[in-house]
Amino acid sequence: MTGGARPLWPAYLASFTFTLGQWAAGVAIPLHVQSLGGSLTEAGTIAAIRFGLGALFSLPFGAVADAWGPRRTLIVAVIASAVINLVPLGAELSGSTAPLYAWAILAGLASSLFLPAIGAYVAGTAHEARRGSAFGWLTLGVHSGIAFGPAVGGLVWQYVGIAPTYLVASLLASVALIGPILLVGSVRTRIDLSALPRMIGGVARDRVIVGCWAAAFGIGLPWGAVSGLFPLFGTSIGLAAGSIGLLLALQSITNGLSRVPLGRVIDRRAILPVAAAAGCIGYAVATSLLGIQTGPLGIAAVFMIGILALAFTLMMIQVVISERAPAALRATGLGGYTTALSAGLGIGPFMAGSVAQGSGFGIGFGSVAAAGAVVAVVAAVLLMGARRVAR
């Protein structure tokens, strides 16, 4: 299907506004845990729940997106996200962290419904020769939202208060509804969800797709640790909430802006799939350096260098899966990618938080970076010798 058959820009808009709202609330969660007397381990556990549910549900929700069609799936996910961002208000009223756990559960489910659907729409709509660029624009939207969300959330938290942070996050999330409403020509296919094992087997027989899933898990481990625990690391070295949000914004802006040119490079060069494993190792090395930084300039340098390796890796994974998965199973293949990435994002902060509680952030980030590098080696073995598939 050519890129001119259906518009792509509403998907890019949806990717930005959805993540904008969710990450505006997400940056406040570990700070809220701390304000209620919670520990580093508890903050890491809440982040692990949020991303871990994506690991459990992204693959079956990919099949849901195939059955419902992207437009309906995205509308449900966006409405749910706007409501979910109000749940942490219960923690402020009750003084309990239980509503923060509830937010993590529900936000994880909303993300695992949204991401396979938006990826499948782009993969099925973009011209085959420009799929890398299309995913570049999609992830530019995602990471622009990830950038501005923490910045907005951190600044509102610092200068206005706790409750307004979640109210603003809910409002921002509701704006995301504009995107899926404007999607047109969303084709629905009849897929029997009871056939999920057969659908998974259809893509899992390709060792290159499995290697891509492994690389996604490997890079998710350190990325999850950074995403879940950096606000607490920042406060431990004396950074204000607004500065933490701006540093996360810098990381995500670099991530987003690099995606389109990286996508064009991937489209125009016969880059081998094993490069995804190499990028995974590069990001692990950068993460190992984060915990020994003592000021914003060093953190900014590590963020900007490491995020380029991460951006390239995730772009390669998405493009390779889109090329190799059968069209009828593309959402399932991309759902498996989101599942693997989310598993890493969930385990990473739990692992790093538990280690950092007793040994400090330097050892915490270093341990999860080492684990990611080990998984990257496994991915490299699976991807070694593979070539891109011409469509």
Would you state the structure tokens that stand for residue 143, as one six-digit string? 């990471």
Q: How far apart are CA 262 and CA 269, in angstroms?
A: 10
**Cβ–Cβ contacts within 10 Å for residue 39, how many?**
13
Q: Which residue has the tokens 């056939």?
A: 195
Residue 192: its pLDDT value, please? 60
Closest to 321 (Cα-Cα) out of 131, 189, 108: 131
Q: Domains for the chain: give ranges and CATH numbers.
A: 9-179+196-383 (1.20.1250.20)
Residue 274: its pLDDT value, please? 93
Buried b (16+ CB within 10 A) or exposed e, 210-225: bbbbbbbbbbbbbbbb
Global pTM value = 0.72
The gap from C-alpha 7 to its chain's centroid, in whole angstroms, comes to 23
Q: Which residue has the tokens 């899933």?
A: 213
Q: How far apart are CA 106 and CA 94, in angstroms?
A: 19
Mean pLDDT by 10 residues, the chain (391 residues): 61 89 85 81 79 75 75 88 91 86 90 84 75 81 79 84 88 86 60 67 85 94 86 84 80 79 82 92 92 86 90 90 79 83 83 84 90 95 82 48
Report in angstroms the alpha-carbon separations of 144 from 47, 115, 140. 20, 15, 6
Q: How far apart are CA 342 and CA 75, in angstroms?
A: 22
Q: How far apart are CA 274 and CA 279, in angstroms?
A: 9
Report in angstroms the alpha-carbon separations of 37 from 31, 41, 43, 280. 10, 12, 11, 35
Running DSSP on this structure, what letter comes out for residue 389? P
